Amino acid sequence: MGITTEIEKLELNMKDAKHVLKLKKSLDTLRKNKDFQLIIEDEYFTSEAARLVKQKSAVHMQTPERQMFIDHGIVGLGSLQQFFSKIDAMYSEAERSLEADQLTHAELMAEDI
């Protein structure tokens, strides 16, 4: 692989890593927001989760359609939590990757001159 191709690949990797860092910063900003805390963390992740679990055993919610509806709510809740966790996990890797890629990029640019 030529230096130009390596540089292009590094630049693409750095762009992706910067995007992940931006996602993490935005998520951290959301987590500090009182409205986000109230609506998502307190109500959705806690109260709604408890309500859905309670509904699973309610006599009037035992039809297959209603059980499926409840299951979809639970899965949706878990999916959002997993998405936030994925951003947290990707952040550490992106930070390390960006540092290494920036160093390699600078070295290759110096060689290319």
Count of structural domains within the chain: 1
Q: What is the pLDDT of residue 111?
A: 81
pLDDT under 70: residue ranges of the chain: 1, 112-113
pLDDT score at 20 = 97
User: What is residue 1's predicted lDDT score, i.e. its pLDDT?
Assistant: 62
C-alpha to C-alpha distances, 85 to 20, 70, 82, nearest whole angstrom: 13, 23, 5
The range of the structural domain enclosing residue 99 comes to: 3-112
The whole-angstrom separation of Cα 81 and Cα 83 is: 5
